[in-house]
Amino acid sequence: MEERSISMLPGNKRYSHPRYGVTLKANTSKLDMYGGRDPRDLPAYRFADAARYLNIALPTLRSWIKGRFYEVKGGRRFFKPVFYLPDPKQPLLSYTNLVEAFVLSSLRRKHMIDLGKIRTAIRALEKEFDSKHPLVEHRFETYGKDVFVEMYGQLIDVGQGGQLAMRQLLQEYLTRVEHDPSGKAAKLYPFVRLNGTDQPKTIVINPYVSFGKPVIAGTGLPTHVVAERYKAGDSIPDLARDYGRKEEEINDAIRYELRVA
């Protein structure tokens, strides 16, 4: 039988059907869902969702992103935001904002964050890196964190011992951020358990997978789907069998969503 060609979009591959002898063209070009923009820089996360993903108090995250008023003798003053929203008119964080907040949250384990001085240190890094988002760049992990800690440590009058502790905490968080060849943050592995930093990377937030929702690493399976089935009565072994994953991965997805130790 003579093959017939079905015309589709240009740049596609041809496949011949063994039974019907029809040559099909399959679309192999990558669809641009974002209009040529980097999805990491688009408004995507509600404050409440971002706070839950990172296990940060919602008022704390709001103050970092939107700034806050504070009381002084004779009135109030305003702390300017630490980070930049992709669109000031939309109350939505970008993936880049999400990673920035994750990195900054490392300092909260040992020190109270002084927003004004943090902002001063970050603005200095912006000039050093010629970037609006220096905390999410690979350069920050390689040498920027030392510059940042030294500047911030001096501003809050922390000695060498305190600065060393900050560096160690920052590094523990930065190892959970993977960068693409351009140096921009591409994958974030949030902490699954409530305590400790030596944790498996079983959950990942990737802007190109499941629209940036937390998923089990190596899959497109959102953690909230697993948790909802668990709450509905499915057992961990049943879920592991259904999704073809290890029980430890299913357990971590549930632990992450329900915030249990």
Average pLDDT of every residue of the chain: 84
Q: Locate the domains of the chain by residue range.
A: 1-31, 189-261
% of the chain exceeding 90 in pLDDT = 53
- The Cα–Cα gap between 84 and 135 comes to 12
| Local confidence band at 112 (pLDDT 50, 70, 90 cut-offs) | low
What tokens does 138 get? 């690979």
Distance CA 118, CA 96 (A): 18
Q: In CATH, what is the architecture of 189-261?
A: Orthogonal Bundle (1.10)
Percent of the chain scoring above 70 in pLDDT: 85
Res. 162: pLDDT tops 80: no
Q: What does the pLDDT average to over 230-259?
A: 96
Indicate whether 78 pLDDT > 90: no
Q: Report the DSSP beta bridge partners of residue 178.
A: 187
**What per-residue confidence (pLDDT) applies to 145?**
87
Question: What integer pLDDT is reported at residue 258 of this predicted model?
Answer: 93
Q: Which of 114-123, 168-177, 243-252 has the highest mean pLDDT?
A: 243-252
Question: Cα dihedral angle (75, 80, 82, 85), rounded to 10 degrees?
Answer: 130
Give the least confident one: 9-23, 33-47, 77-91, 240-254.
9-23
Indicate the pLDDT class of residue 109, thresholds 50, 70 and 90. Answer: low
For 43, the token pair is: 């408004």
Residue carrying the six token digits 């079983």 = 202
Q: Sorting pLDDT into bands at 50, 70 and 90, what band is 223? A: very high
What confidence tens digit (pLDDT) does each residue in 48-67 have?
Answer: 999 999 999 999 999 999 88
pLDDT value at residue 23: 45
* Rounded mean pLDDT, 90-114: 86
178-221: per-residue pLDDT in tens?
A: 999 999 999 999 999 888 888 999 999 999 999 999 999 999 99
The backbone torsions φ and ψ at residue 142, rounded to the nearest 5 degrees and listed phi first, read -75, -40
Please report the pLDDT score of residue 27 as a whole number. 45
pTM, entire model: 0.81
What is the per-residue pLDDT across 234-248, written as a single tens digit (0 to 9) for each? 999 999 999 999 999
| pLDDT of res. 72 | 78
The mean pLDDT of 124-136, rounded to a whole number, is 91
Q: What is the Rg, in whole angstroms, of the alpha carbon atoms belonging to the chain?
A: 23
What pLDDT, on the 0 to 100 scale, is given for residue 260?
A: 67
Cα angle, residue 203 at apex, residues 100 and 59 outer, rounded to 5°: 40
**pLDDT exceeds 60 at position 3:** no
Residue 20 near residue 3, CB atoms below 8 Å: no
Q: How many CB atoms lie within 10 A of CB 21?
A: 11
